[in-house]
Structure 1
């Protein structure tokens, strides 16, 4: 199931039990678990293991350069697409995709993958996720 999420309202709820809420961008530095680089058309994969009961996951993809555009796709451990996100996912174009995914029934246990794609990149772009 492919779910493409755009935020006309403050939240978006999917029929798979997951709700995605954009986080208003602010200058606060949030903890990063990896830094990387990407070029036009390149795809990078990042995994996070969820091994105990969890109801919320914060994902903050930050590259800070509004002249470049990255795309983020979030996959559950069973390879279900939870959402596809672009720079405007929080309602503003700021070189950042900052979201919280919640599920009151708990997240599927296993490795959650995030696919970062160089949607429109000139040269090489640094990013943190």
Structure 2
């Protein structure tokens, strides 16, 4: 039985824009925090991470969309994870920590938008065990 909620990294396509406060990034991409959603869906796959370990997760984007949702939720505020998101052309979109979505709650929940469209191809998410005691459960 998993005692911790784990780290949820859900990358899914959404074609809507959010009116939340945003932070502009290079090449037309904008990052916006997403309000917390406690819904767990069966799309997430379990994994684990330890101190100093890096895990990579990919999401193919094969059709036009203007938004990409990234939800990383480990649910344990005593551990700290870092998330980096890269485009298919290996452009770093941003480096995110627990407070990136406006709350320190063991979760990074962001929306990446581009009015010109999200780059087609395989997006990459790098999850790093920034400050982890033992092994942290997570889902992708």
TM-score between the two structures when normalised by the length of structure 2: 0.81
Partner SS for 1:45: strand
Q: Is the 8 A contact 2:48 2:138 kept in 1?
A: yes
Of 50, 54, 61, the residue aligned with 2:72 is 61
Q: Please report the TM-score for the alignment, with normalisation by the length of structure 1.
A: 0.88
Who is 1:35 aligned against?
46
In 2, the alpha carbon distance for the partners of 1:11 and 1:30 equals: 26
- Structure 2: distance between partners of 1:30 and 1:59: 14
RMSD: 1.5
Per-residue CA deviations over 1:45-100 (Å, capped at 9, x if unaligned) read 00000011111111100100000000000000110000110000011110000001
Aligned partner of 2:120 in structure 1 is: 109
Structure 2 residues not aligned, in runs of 5+: 1-19
| C-alpha distance 32-71 of structure 1, shift in aligned 2 (>3 A) | farther
Equivalent-residue separation in structure 1 for 2:26 and 2:108 (angstroms): 22
Q: How many residues are paired up?
A: 121
Q: Does 1:99 align with 2:102?
A: no
